[in-house]
Structure 1
Amino acid sequence: MASVTGLEGIIAAETELSLVDGEKGYLVYRGYEAKKLALNKSFEEVAYLLWHGELPTEEILVNFRAQWSAHRSLSEILKAAINLLPLECDMMSVLRTAISFLGTESVKEAAWPPQYESVLAYTALVPTIIAYKYRQSLGLQPIEPNPELDHVANYLYMLTGTVPQPVHVKVLTAYFVLAMEHGMNASTFSGRVVLSTQSDIASALCASIGAMKGPLHGGAPSEVLHMLDEIGNKDRAETWLIEQLESGNRLMGFGHRIYKTSDPRAEALRQIMTELASEDPWFDLAIHVEKLAVDLLAVYKPGRKLYVNVEFYAAAVMRAIALPKSLFTPSFTASRMVGWTAHLLEQASCNRIFRPQSVYIGEMPADLQQP
């Protein structure tokens, strides 16, 4: 049996949650184009779609948002646990520890199968955990959740203590919707593997967070931000890009392991940023750099099909809302919690433990050698 390094191309499960078609540039959530959802729906609406299989009615949405808001606050015992962590502890480790601790708080609940109430609670809590530890690390008083704000606006509010600008809420909401689910990626697969053993949801989410923490999965936007900072303004863009290409350097934010055409998530963010370019100079710069880079890549790397990916525009979003680099991957995680938990519910509904094979290539004992 031939081995496949990294399991690339191997089908590990059937899913109703999303389709990632890299050749055609499709990203579909339960029958809806993700980029259209990002342009027209709230984070809560799309989360409901992934968890329940349909978009909520207005009446259901009102009740759903109330349930979501009710789960945002940290318990005093969880705050005490987070307070024990060093101020310099990286945020992904904080999240992993906090989720693990929450799992010990839930010992009275049945570990299997995962319950919808737990799915909602864990997802609603993650932004509060991030904001609480972030402000603590700066020596600032934590901000309690604002029940009048939606998921994304409340996250920004808890980080800064100021009700965010609508333009920033709109573009971050679009990014969060586009980042919440993306097929059988490393972190999603990790969570499903753990849950397939009939382990508890906290253990599965810790596995997903651990995978997301790795720089090959959750850290790309910070490199794009460095590139945009280096470019600085539109007048310098073409010269900088040509210098990088002629030196054989990679342009960060272009090309994707899956997408062989334009990344549909980047297309949606570009559309929003084009509409809002006059309101934020970083949006205007990002759009300009993308156009130049795609044209130059076609010349310098013909036939490579290198198009912009979501990390490119994610960096522009993070820069516009002044989110520190240390919060890029945690913010991605706050969004992806929806996709992870949707996969965990799906795994539980048709569970079979994952048990792939490996090919032994080491030495054999002498007495077992074939003649």
Structure 2
Amino acid sequence: MTTPAPGIHRGLAGVVVDTTEISTVIQETNSLTYRGYPVQDLAAHRSFEEVAYLLRYGELPDAAQLTAFQARERALRPLDRTTLELLTRLPGTCHPMDVLRTAVSFFGAEDPTEDDGSPAAHHAKSLTLLARLPTVVAADQRRRRDLPPIPPDPALGYAENFFHMCFGSVPDPEVVRCFEISLILYAEHSFNASTFTARVVTSTLSDLYSAVTAAIGALKGPLHGGANEAVMHMLHEIGEPARAGAWLAEALAAKRKIMGFGHRVYRHGDSRVPIMQEALDRLVARTATPEATRLAALHTALREAVLTRRGIHPNLDYPAGLAYHLMGFDIPAFTPIFVMSRITGWTAHITEQLGHNALIRPLASYDGRGQRPVPEPASRARQRGAGAPDA
């Protein structure tokens, strides 16, 4: 790989491309805020539905607004027969993110208002996706276990209903709250790769479903959303807490990336991690199985080893990956769960992009071959050399 010329920022690191009112990381306090509210305070004191409302409309809802928002979301959860049949036709070997991406594309194909970019239409489509994506994820997880889908329950909240659709029951409130905290923390993160992808697509005046489909494709990558899955694969590979240090040394020597650590935005560690780690600790204590105890000890040992050897702190994917595993979710479902949350941030950014749109079209510094003449095809040269045929 060649060294970038001055003025070139590969990966757009440190490049400010636009303004946003949705979220920011305040470097002085190392705090992520949603619409001005510190995310750790939102995670500690608010529900995911309240945060979803905040990201969409700009303010936290009052009691009447929240009740109306929840009623609309719960009414939109069910999937029609055509969508359920589509899910069954997809290969069981494909990644759940492929299923989710296909489902969103299908929702767009079915929607007669697909190309309506008005604010009212965007609010309606955003709420529909927020409501239906958990139903898609749960139905797909069950089909992979040869189980029939469980319809959503309108009496249950967003997090509780997802457990119900996946497992047929709702765990105790401590587990549900841990899951809800993860949804709040994953909901939004400024101009990350998938959000920026959604804004790029939106800047062309394409439809919301196309922007979300593209964002899902970006989030699938292991350097973005897929990192929470990679964390669990890594922990399973290490196996025992006593092996954490040796495994890390071998991985570093082989120049392997240690998943779940480091973040381009945070200087002093991901501000979302402490509250998620606290929730994970409560989950481990509640679970109290030998596997949970072993994995928690391994999780701690690797975290301390990475900090000691490299001075790198974990990011949100590190505690969230283990939490999802202990809740009973299959590893390939981790990133689709991320989508269930991040759809709130994506759609807020899509709406914001349209509000002051400019086509996103960066430049590139060319470092290929200089201009040169196109050679004459060999066949034509041979024909000219043989002369014209007789008349």
Shorter-chain TM-score above 0.5:
yes
Pairing 1:157-176 to 2, within 5 Å after superposition: 157-176=164-183
- Seen in structure 2, the aligned counterparts of structure 1 residues 225 and 122 have a Cα distance that, compared at 3 Å, is same
The answer to whether structure 1 residue 191 and structure 2 residue 198 are counterparts is yes
Question: Aligned match of 1:353 in 337, 359, 365?
Answer: 359
Residue of 2, 8, 23 corresponding to 1:3: 8
TM-score by length of 1: 0.89
Contact 2:283 2:323 in 1 (8 A): no
C-alpha change, 1:82 and 1:186, in structure 2 (3 Å) is same
Aligned AA (2:355)? S
Unaligned runs of 5+ in 1: none
Contact map agreement 2:114 2:209 (CA 8 A) in 1: no
Contact 2:238 2:247 (8 Å CA) reproduced: no
Structure 2 match to 1:103: 108
Asked whether the equivalents of residues 71 and 121 of structure 1 are also in contact (C-alpha less than 8 Å), the reply is yes
The separation in 2 between residues aligned to 1:291 and 1:108, in whole angstroms, is 49
Letter in 1 for 2:335: T
**Is the alpha carbon distance of 1:297 and 1:130 closer, same or farther for their aligned partners in structure 2, counting shifts above 3 Å?**
closer
Provide the residue aligned with 1:326 in structure 2. Answer: 332
Q: Distance in 1 between matches of 2:238 and 2:28?
A: 31
Displacement, 1:351? 1.2
In the alignment, structure 1 residue 88 sits paired with structure 2 residue 93: yes
Q: Is the CA contact 1:143–1:158 (under 8 Å) kept in the aligned structure 2?
A: yes
Q: Is the 8 A contact 1:270 1:287 kept in 2?
A: no
Q: In the alignment, is the contact (CA less than 8 A) between 1:23 and 1:261 conserved in 2?
A: no
Structure 1 residue 38 corresponds to structure 2 residue 43: yes
Which structure 2 residues correspond to residues 1-371 of structure 1 after superposition, within 5 A? Answer: 2-21=7-26, 24-108=29-113, 110-113=115-118, 115-229=122-236, 237=241, 239-247=242-250, 249=252, 251-281=258-288, 292-293=301-302, 295-301=304-310, 305-366=311-372
Which stretch has the larger CA shift, 22-31 or 50-59?
22-31
Give a deviation string over 1:80-118, Cα, whole Å, max 9, x none: 333332233321111111111111111345432352011
- Code of the aligned partner of 1:175: S
CA contact (8 A) 1:21 1:259 kept: no
SS at match of 1:44: helix
DSSP 3-state at the match of 2:102: helix
Q: Give me the whole-angstrom Cα distance separating, in 1, the residues matched to 2:17 and 2:112.
A: 30
Gaps of 5+ in 2: 1-5, 374-391
3-state SS in 2 of match to 1:279: helix
Distance 1:331 1:298 in 2: 28
User: Per the alignment, do residues 215 and 231 of structure 1 end up closer, same or farther by CA in structure 2, a change over 3 Å counting?
Assistant: closer
Q: What one-letter code is carried by the residue in structure 2 that aligns with 1:171?
A: C
Conserved in 2, the CA contact under 8 Å of 1:270 and 1:313?
A: yes
CA contact (8 A) 2:189 2:345 kept: yes
Alpha-carbon deviation of 1:270?
1.7
Q: Cα gap change, 1:360/1:292 in structure 2, threshold over 3 Å: closer, same or farther? A: same
Query: Over alpha carbons, which structure has the higher Rg?
Result: 2
Q: What one-letter code is carried by the residue in structure 2 that aligns with 1:300?
A: R
Distance change >3 Å, CA 30–CA 163, structure 1 → 2: same
Matched residue SS, 1:215:
coil
CA contact (8 A) 1:244 1:251 kept: no
Separation (CA, whole Å) in 2 of partners of 1:298 and 1:166:
33
In the aligned structure 1, how far is the partner of 2:246 from the partner of 2:28? 30
Rounded to whole Å, the distance in 1 between the matches of 2:140 and 2:299 is 35
Tell me which residue corresponds to 2:383. Answer: none
Specify whether residues 211 and 148 from structure 1 end up closer, same or farther in structure 2 by C-alpha distance, changes over 3 A only. same
Q: 1:251 to 1:280 in 2, by over 3 A?
A: farther
Q: TM-score, normalised by structure 2?
A: 0.85
Structure 1 counterpart of 2:379: none
Give the counterpart letter for 1:221 in structure 2. N
CA RMSD across the alignment: 2.4
- SS of alignment partner, residue 223 of structure 2: helix
Q: Structure 1 counterpart of 2:34, which letter?
A: Y
- Measure, in 1, the Cα distance between the counterparts of 2:276 and 2:228: 14
